């Protein structure tokens, strides 16, 4: 019997839960990851997403499952390419990269910014009897009920399940216990990721560095930071791929570094991602890079395929948010504001334009307002692109004055 099977047998999966109930199906999914059936491997990745990290949540089975996912990352079977299996997946990629991306989600789901002490207070409330908490848990687990999507045939949840869902203190305690159990796995995940930061595949290296970066929010790993930073800087210096250098720039910023070399990269996207580093918040060079990039926000969104580490929406939105936070004068960022005004289908007014509108017009316009040249230019652009910040008739009258 191989080591993975031995380790699987050491876990009481029946006594653990994932998003859809008891985790008795976990061993089969883990074995599928290193099997020779590519479709089963893809389904196992989908299982990790849907059952073990459902919408960014963790469960009692998540920690043990993730510990074994980290353990199989080095297996040659995880080097194969798997097809995209979810609508938001970036397309075919090495299985190893897909697993690492979920390990990044796992590290983020562990809420490492919250102290263990705070979680322990929630996990074991002083005014609750442990026997009562266990009674609620076992009664809820014994319920064989699933939400029926058809309201006609749907049955109400059993009383024991309702009791568990309505007991806020119980829910908080179980969630905190699951988080604490997951945190015990962070060091294993970090070590497994670090071993792949020099992988031959760029996608794997980038994903591995992302996992390691988010694991470093665990204070017990703080002495490992310098070594990871050195590896990341070496990777950026050697990589011929702008996307990898841009990813490293963002991760170094996440670690509190100022990626100086990448601020001078030949690729504008790499320079812009380096400029996002909080350490460059007051650096005029970084401001200039952000302004230059946002003069053509449509191009920004075509620089790289897929999301970079730390990116949730479109890339131009991250640049706009950073620039708006740092700007205190419209004239200095006017080219960026004018570029953002040209957005239409990809515009999120509240995030893209509203901060610059507030910067330009801290007070609503009135008939007595006197506009500066920069304000007039910006207001013209807003109206030309059908983004009137105030009453359109008033705005046009002000520009005609």
Could you write out the DSSP letters of every residue in 17-84?
EETTEE-TTHHHHHHHHTSS-HHHHHHHHHHIIIIISGGG---TTHHHHHHHHHHHTTSGGGGSEE--
Using alpha carbons, list the distances in angstroms from residue 219 to 115, 210, 223, 225, 251: 9, 17, 9, 10, 17
CA 348 and chain centroid, separation:
19
**pLDDT greater than 90 at residue 36:** no
Give residue 86's pLDDT band: very low, low, confident or very high (50, 70, 90): low
Which residues 6+ apart lie within 8 Å of 207 measured at CB?
Answer: 96, 97, 100, 101, 104, 196
Give residue 42's pLDDT band: very low, low, confident or very high (50, 70, 90): confident
| pTM (predicted TM-score) | 0.91
**What confidence score (pLDDT) does residue 56 get?**
92
Domains of the chain: which residue ranges? 3-126+182-285, 315-400
pLDDT tens-digit series, residues 2-16: 788 889 989 999 999
Could you tell me if 19 and 27 are in contact, meaning their C-beta atoms sit under 8 angstroms apart?
Answer: no
pLDDT tens-digit series, residues 214-228: 999 999 999 999 999
Q: What is the CA radius of gyration of the chain?
A: 25
**pLDDT greater than 60 at residue 94:** yes
Tell me the mean pLDDT in the region 261-269: 98
Q: How many residues does the chain have?
A: 401
Q: Can you read off the two tokens belonging to residue 339?
A: 């570029």
Question: Which overall architecture, per CATH, does domain 3-126+182-285 show?
Answer: Alpha Horseshoe (1.25)
Tell me the mean pLDDT in the region 142-147: 83
Within 10 angstroms of residue 84's Cβ, the number of other Cβ atoms is: 14
20-39 exposure pattern, b = at least 16 Cβ within 10 A, e = fewer: ebebeebbebbbbbbeeeee
Which residues 6+ apart lie within 8 Å of 220 measured at CB?
Answer: 186, 187
pLDDT tens-digit series, residues 68-79: 999 999 999 899
**What confidence score (pLDDT) does residue 22 get?**
92
pLDDT tens-digit series, residues 311-363: 988 999 999 999 999 999 999 999 999 999 999 888 889 999 999 999 999 98
Range in 8-17, 139-148, 295-304, 307-316 the model is least confident about: 139-148
Give residue 85's pLDDT band: very low, low, confident or very high (50, 70, 90): low
Query: Which class for 10: exposed (0-12), middle (13-18), buried (19 or more C-beta within 10 A)?
Result: exposed
**What confidence score (pLDDT) does residue 63 get?**
97
Give residue 88's pLDDT band: very low, low, confident or very high (50, 70, 90): low
Q: How high is the mean pLDDT of the chain?
A: 93
> Which helix (DSSP H) or strand (DSSP E) does residue 314 occupy?
none
**pLDDT greater than 50 at residue 133:** yes
Q: Rounded to whole angstroms, how far apart are CA atoms 151 and 336?
A: 50
**pLDDT greater than 70 at residue 1:** no
Could you tell me if 318 and 340 are in contact, meaning their C-beta atoms sit under 8 angstroms apart?
Answer: no
Residue written as tokens 């061993």?
A: 27
Query: Which class for 371: exposed (0-12), middle (13-18), buried (19 or more C-beta within 10 A)?
Result: middle
Give residue 87's pLDDT band: very low, low, confident or very high (50, 70, 90): low
Give residue 144's pLDDT band: very low, low, confident or very high (50, 70, 90): confident
pLDDT tens-digit series, residues 165-200: 999 999 999 999 999 999 999 999 999 999 999 999
Q: Can you read off the two tokens belonging to residue 182?
A: 């997951």
Give residue 234's pLDDT band: very low, low, confident or very high (50, 70, 90): very high
Long-range contacts of 275-280 (CB under 8 A, 24+ apart): 275/319, 275/322, 276/249, 276/250, 276/318, 276/319, 276/322, 277/249, 277/252, 277/253, 278/253, 279/253, 280/253
pLDDT tens-digit series, residues 116-126: 999 999 999 99
∠ CA 99-83-314, rounded to 5°: 75
**pLDDT greater than 70 at residue 84:** no
What angle in degrees, to the nearest 10, is found between the helix axes of 130-141 and 168-183? 90
Could you tell me if 190 and 232 are in contact, meaning their C-beta atoms sit under 8 angstroms apart?
Answer: no
**pLDDT greater than 80 at residue 147:** no
**pLDDT greater than 50 at residue 295:** yes
């Amino acid at each position: 019997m191989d080591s993975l099977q031995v380790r699987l047998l050491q876990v009481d999966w029946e006594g653990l839960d994932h998003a859809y109930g008891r985790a008795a199906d976990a061993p089969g999914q883990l074995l599928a990851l290193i099997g020779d059936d590519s479709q089963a491997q893809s389904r196992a990745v989908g299982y990790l997403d849907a059952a073990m990290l459902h919408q960014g949540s963790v469960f009692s089975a998540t920690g043990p499952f993730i510990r074994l996912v980290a353990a199989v990352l080095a297996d040659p079977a995880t080097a194969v390419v798997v097809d995209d299996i979810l609508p938001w997946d970036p397309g075919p990629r090495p299985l190893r990269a897909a697993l690492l991306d979920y390990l990044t989600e796992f590290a983020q789901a562990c809420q490492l910014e919250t102290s263990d002490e705070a979680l322990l207070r929630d996990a074991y409330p002083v005014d609750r009897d442990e026997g009562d908490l266990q009674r609620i848990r076992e009664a809820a687990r014994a319920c064989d009920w699933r939400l029926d999507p058809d309201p006609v045939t749907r049955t109400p949840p059993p009383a024991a399940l309702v009791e568990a869902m309505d007991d806020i203190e119980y829910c908080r305690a179980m969630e905190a216990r699951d988080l604490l159990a997951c945190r015990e796995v962070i060091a294993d995940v970090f070590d497994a990721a670090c071993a792949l930061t020099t992988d031959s595949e760029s996608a794997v290296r980038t994903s591995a560095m992302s996992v390691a970066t988010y694991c470093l929010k665990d204070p017990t790993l703080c002495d490992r930071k310098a070594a990871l930073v050195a590896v990341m800087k070496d990777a950026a210096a050697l990589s011929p791929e702008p996307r990898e250098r841009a990813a490293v720039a963002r991760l170094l910023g996440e670690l509190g570094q100022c990626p100086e070399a990448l601020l001078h990269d030949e690729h504008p996207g790499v320079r812009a991602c380096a400029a996002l580093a909080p350490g460059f918040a007051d650096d005029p060079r970084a401001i200039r890079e952000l302004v230059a990039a946002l003069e053509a926000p449509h191009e920004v969104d075509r620089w790289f395929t897929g999301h970079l580490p730390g990116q949730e929406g479109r890339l131009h939105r991250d640049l706009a948010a950073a620039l708006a936070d740092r700007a205190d004068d419209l004239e200095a960022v006017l080219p960026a504001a004018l570029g953002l005004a040209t957005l239409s289908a990809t515009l999120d007014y509240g995030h893209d334009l509203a901060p610059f509108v507030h910067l330009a017009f801290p007070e609503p316009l009135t008939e007595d307002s006197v506009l500066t040249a920069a304000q007039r230019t910006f207001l013209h652009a807003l109206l030309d692109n059908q983004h009137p910040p105030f009453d359109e008739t008033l705005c046009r009258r002000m520009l005609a004055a």
